[in-house]
């Protein structure tokens, strides 16, 4: 398989601070590369460099075989970019937004309207086509934004935190759209802070932290690399959670996390299972769930970095809304 994107040693400094400290990545053609990392880890900076919107201070990158610094026009012709914030004109209708973009891309008036209608239909926005975008829900806005980035039929799509701030239903809808696009052969570069999202969509993942790739692999490989399995106990009576957690801690001798009515801890030796069962029984704790499972990506991130993925301080310096068209 060919590489759609290949970057080596990308470095970017902003006024003394280092946003990227040597990022290598490869996106295989027709696959989804997930760039996973907390706020401020360098995701948007990476995307902006690969979209030719920002020059790297070091390293090099090729998109579709074109160098992003020396051949920006060729690169832009290949890509669609959807920023973290919806970038459509809120006062224009869905049809007007998409038609405008199509006209800018050189479509005739008739072709532009046809392309707009086709995309609105595909994204379930036909009923809202003639309404101003400002009347759309967050999920609808995000779908319109995605539609806008697809007007020029890009073979590569950059999605920078496409579901941040969306409710679970809208998030699922957007995931379906992304899967459909991948089914059509589009290569996707997806940044996300949500480990579940990377797990759901990505074929390959790089984990960024402080501008460095701290881990890479398929979702399964990342989970395997974290090594340990996770023992999870959920008492039938939620009031017994503290006791159940104490049992798990005593047996596994590792840190116990309590969430959603369950207590979980990493275990390297599956033989602790019978001991947990015995102690729970001694304490008369009936269980609704007792499982030994592979870690979630959240737990993987915790294992790699020593802190939860959502624990990084937000720095409020997100890039402005952005989008390029073919």
Ligand X SMILES: Nc1ncnc2c1ncn2[C@@H]1O[C@H](COP(=O)(O)OP(=O)(O)O)[C@@H](O)[C@H]1O
CB-nearer residue toward ligand X: 19 or 63? 19
Among 172, 167, 299, 311, smallest CA distance to 232 is for: 299
> Cβ 20 to ligand X, closest distance in Å?
8
Options 25, 36, 44, 267; binder of ligand X; rule CB under 6 A:
44
CB-nearer residue toward ligand X: 277 or 319? 319
Footprint (CB under 6 A) of ligand X, residues 263-322: 315, 317-319
324 binds Mg ion (CB under 5 A): no
> Cβ 303 to ligand X, closest distance in Å?
20
Question: How many residues line the site for ligand X (CB under 6 A)?
Answer: 16
57 binds ligand X (CB under 6 A): no
CB-nearer residue toward ligand X: 14 or 104? 14
- The CA distances from residue 110 to 88, 99, 100, in Å, are 21, 9, 12
CB-count burial class (<10 Å; 0-12, 13-18, 19+) for 118: middle
> Cβ 160 to ligand X, closest distance in Å?
7
Q: Are strands 187-192 and 156-160 parallel, antiparallel or unpaired?
A: parallel
CB-nearer residue toward ligand X: 45 or 200? 45
44 binds Mg ion (CB under 5 A): yes
> Cβ 196 to ligand X, closest distance in Å?
17
> Cβ 171 to ligand X, closest distance in Å?
18
Footprint (CB under 6 A) of ligand X, residues 2-31: 14-15, 17, 19
Give 255-268 as a DSSP string: --EEETTEEEEEES
Render the burial of 267-303: b for 16+ CB within 10 Å, e for the rest.
beeeebbeebeebbeeeebebeebeeeebbbbbbbbb
- Each as own residue / partner, the long-range contacts of residues 130-134 (CB below 8 Å, 24 or more positions apart, any chain) are 130/93, 130/94, 130/95, 131/93, 131/94, 132/90, 132/91, 132/92, 132/93, 133/86, 133/88, 133/89, 133/90, 133/91, 133/92, 133/93, 133/94, 133/97, 134/90, 134/91
Options 4, 25, 34, 45; binder of ligand X; rule CB under 6 A:
45
CB-nearer residue toward ligand X: 43 or 142? 43
- Name the residue with the smallest CB distance to Mg ion: 44
The terminus-to-terminus CA distance of the chain in angstroms comes to: 24
Q: Which does 42 bind (CB under 5 to 8 A by kind): ligand X, Mg ion, none?
A: ligand X
CB-nearer residue toward ligand X: 19 or 88? 19
Count Cβ atoms below 10 Å from residue 55 Cβ, excluding itself: 11
**3-state class of 139 per DSSP?**
helix
Question: How many residues line the site for Mg ion (CB under 5 A)?
Answer: 2
> Cβ 16 to ligand X, closest distance in Å?
9
Could you say which DSSP state residue 93 is in? B
> Cβ 178 to ligand X, closest distance in Å?
19
Instruction: Summarize as ranges the residues that interact with ligand X (CB under 6 A).
Output: 14-15, 17, 19, 37, 39-45, 315, 317-319
Instruction: Summarize as ranges the residues that interact with Mg ion (CB under 5 A).
Output: 43-44
């Amino acid at each position: 398989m060919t590489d759609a994107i290949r970057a080596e040693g990308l470095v970017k400094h902003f006024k003394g601070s280092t946003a990227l400290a040597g990022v290598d990545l490869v996106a295989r053609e027709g696959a989804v590369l997930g760039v996973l990392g907390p706020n401020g880890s360098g995701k948007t900076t990476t995307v902006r460099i690969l979209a030719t919107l920002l020059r790297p201070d070091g390293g090099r990158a090729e998109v579709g075989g074109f160098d992003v610094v020396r051949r920006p026009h060729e690169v832009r012709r290949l890509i669609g970019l959807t920023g973290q914030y919806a970038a459509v004109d809120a006062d224009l209708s869905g049809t007007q937004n998409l038609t405008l973009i199509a006209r800018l891309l050189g479509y005739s008036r008739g072709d532009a309207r046809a392309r707009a209608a086709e995309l609105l239909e595909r994204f379930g926005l036909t009923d809202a086509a003639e309404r101003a975008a400002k009347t759309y829900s967050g999920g609808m806005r995000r779908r319109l934004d995605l539609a806008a980035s697809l007007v020029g039929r890009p073979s590569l799509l950059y999605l920078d935190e496409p579901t941040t701030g969306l409710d679970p239903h809208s998030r699922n809808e957007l995931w379906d759209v992304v899967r459909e696009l991948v089914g059509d052969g589009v290569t996707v570069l997806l940044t996300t802070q949500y480990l579940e999202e990377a797990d759901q969509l990505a074929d390959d993942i790089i984990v960024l932290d402080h501008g460095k790739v701290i881990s890479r692999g398929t979702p399964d490989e990342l989970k395997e690399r974290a090594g340990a399995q996770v023992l999870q106990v959920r008492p039938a009576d939620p009031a017994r959670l503290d006791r159940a957690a104490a049992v798990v801690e005593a047996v596994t001798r590792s840190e116990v996390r309590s969430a959603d009515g369950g207590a979980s801890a990493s275990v390297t030796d599956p033989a602790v299972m019978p001991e947990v069962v015995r102690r729970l029984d001694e304490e008369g704790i009936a269980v609704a769930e007792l499982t030994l499972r592979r870690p979630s990506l959240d737990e993987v991130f915790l294992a790699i970095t020593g802190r939860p993925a959502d624990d990084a301080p937000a720095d409020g310096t997100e890039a402005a809304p952005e989008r390029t068209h073919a």
